[in-house]
Amino acid sequence: MAPSGPGSSARRRCRRVLYWIPVVFITLLLCWSYYAYAIQLCIVSMENTGEQVVCLMAYHLLFGMFVWSYWKTIFTLPMNPSKEFHLSYAEKELLEREPRGEAHQEVLRRAAKDLPIYTRTMSGAIRYCDRCQLIKPDRCHHCSVCDKCILKMDHHCPWVNNCVGFSNYKFFLLFLAYSLLYCLFIAATDLQYFIKFWTNGLPDTQAKFHIMFLFFAAAMFSVSLSSLFGYHCWLVSKNKSTLEAFRSPVFRHGTDKNGFSLGFSKNMRQVFGDEKKYWLLPIFSSLGDGCSFPTCLVNQDPEQPSTPAGLSSTAKNSENHQFPAKPLRESQSHLLTDSQSWTESSTNPGKCKAGMSNPALTMENET
């Protein structure tokens, strides 16, 4: 049990304030870079008016996009599992009474039977968060810093003092992209003045030191940001979160590192959405609800419905049919409605629509 009282709450408050230090550092660095580039380099040091205007316009565009995406990554609240994933009062009581083990799992299995969850713990158990008292949706993890379960959690980022997850992953990617472009642009346009600094071609004013440090800072951040951005581009192309890259998701049939991958184009669309006009803007356009994700493996799990929550209420009227455990290449998710599903190739499509989509009920009727 965590200690509680005035002392511990003061410590928590103090910790919360300290968490803002990296954000304050980046903000101050950004303010200084603005002063060094726009004022000291462009206005004071550039002699060509045309170069001045072009550099200032391009710089302000990148600066604006950088600040906008950074702001959105910091202040977009991470999404938590919806109430369907929380246990009812009766279920919580039952869970407290049951000792850990099979009986405990049985309570969770019953509570999870209509939920669109396909992943399990390493031991094959239903993923349950003791702290939040809920059944974790696929790709959801508990963040110890935020002390909450975060949908499609990627990682907790100290540089934005926020969890990067379903609600702000696109913003985080754009923040990386625009900050990288910002640094590359500064380094490229500052290079000739940086060379002049070392060849004594600059007038002896304070501007020359800003120009030198600006180039160093921009070049250094360009290197670190390009590796981080490159890594996240690879993650998006494979439809993985950072946590999943370190530990592959476990499905009922076992671990599958590409369990959520649907191919490059669809993986990209899951993060950036269908409308191209929003791709480069920090406006939320990711597909889905964050609680359920299409996977090519869903029908290999006989205990769970093959359709995400809210898709097929007719599944509840299922008859006791056994259906072939034919793997889907893509699930019948509302995320990707154009995807092919094996219901179409079934010999009895009508019945399949009502019955096959919930093998969990089949299992239940058998017991």
Six-digit token pair at 115?
A: 């939920």
Distances (CA, A) of 275 to 31, 240, 285, 290, 337: 33, 22, 8, 18, 15
The interface region with Zn ion, picked from 5-13, 41-49, 144-152, 312-320 by CB under 5 A, is 144-152
- Helix residue spans in the chain (DSSP H): 6-18, 21-34, 49-75, 89-97, 102-112, 169-198, 207-238, 242-246, 264-272, 349-355, 359-366
User: CB of residue 363 vs Zn ion: minimum separation in angstroms?
Assistant: 27
Token representation of residue 90: 């009766």
By CB under 5 A, name the one of 38, 46, 125, 146 that touches Zn ion. 146
- Would you give the DSSP letter of residue 330? S
Specify the residue, 65 or 135, whose C-beta has the smaller distance to Zn ion.
135
Least distance to Zn ion, CB of residue 44, Å:
42
Among 111, 149, 218, 250, indicate the residue that binds Zn ion (CB under 5 A).
149
- List the catalytic residue out of 140, 157, 291, 352: 157
Q: Which of 156, 170, 208, 240 binds Zn ion (CB under 5 A)?
A: 156
219 binds Zn ion (CB under 5 A): no
Residue holding tokens 């410590």?
Answer: 11
Q: Distance between CA atoms of 276 and 164, rounded to whole angstroms?
A: 22
Q: Is 23 in the site for Zn ion (CB under 5 A)?
A: no
To Zn ion, the closest distance from the beta carbon of 127 in angstroms equals 10
**Cα–Cα distance measured from residue 1 to residue 116, given in angstroms and rounded to the nearest whole number:** 32
Tell which one of 23, 44, 56, 145 touches Zn ion (CB under 5 A): 145
Closer of 164 and 335 to Zn ion (Cβ)? 164
Assess contact for 214 and 41: CB atoms under 8 A. Answer: yes
Could you say whether residue 132 binds Zn ion (CB under 5 A)?
yes
Distance of alpha carbon 261 from alpha carbon 330, whole angstroms? 9
Closer CB to Zn ion, residue 60 or residue 247?
247
Tell me, yes or no, if 157 is annotated catalytic: yes
Number of residues that bind Zn ion (CB under 5 A): 10
Closer to Zn ion by CB, 146 or 219: give it. 146
142 binds Zn ion (CB under 5 A): yes
- DSSP-derived pairing of the beta strands 250-251 and 119-120: antiparallel
Cβ atoms within 10 Å, residue 108: 19
**Rounded to the nearest whole angstrom, what is the least distance from the CB of residue 155 to Zn ion in the complex?**
8
- The whole-angstrom separation of Cα 49 and Cα 58 is 14
Does residue number 86 form part of the binding site for Zn ion (CB under 5 A)?
A: no
CA nearest neighbour of 33 among 5, 76, 71, 62: 62
Nearer to Zn ion, 156 or 210 (CB): 156
Residues 309-348 that bind Zn ion (CB under 5 A): none
Q: Are 282 and 171 in contact (CB under 8 A)?
A: yes
Candidates 42, 87, 140, 163; binder of Zn ion (CB under 5 A) is: 163
Considering only 57-65, 122-130, 255-263, 325-333, which stretch makes contact with Zn ion by CB under 5 A?
A: 122-130
Chosen residue from 131, 247, 257, 326 binding Zn ion by CB under 5 A: 131
Task: Tell how many helices (H) and how many strands (E) occur in the chain.
Answer: 11, 9
Which positions are annotated as active-site residues?
157
Residues that bind Zn ion (CB under 5 A): 129, 131-132, 142-143, 145-146, 149, 156, 163
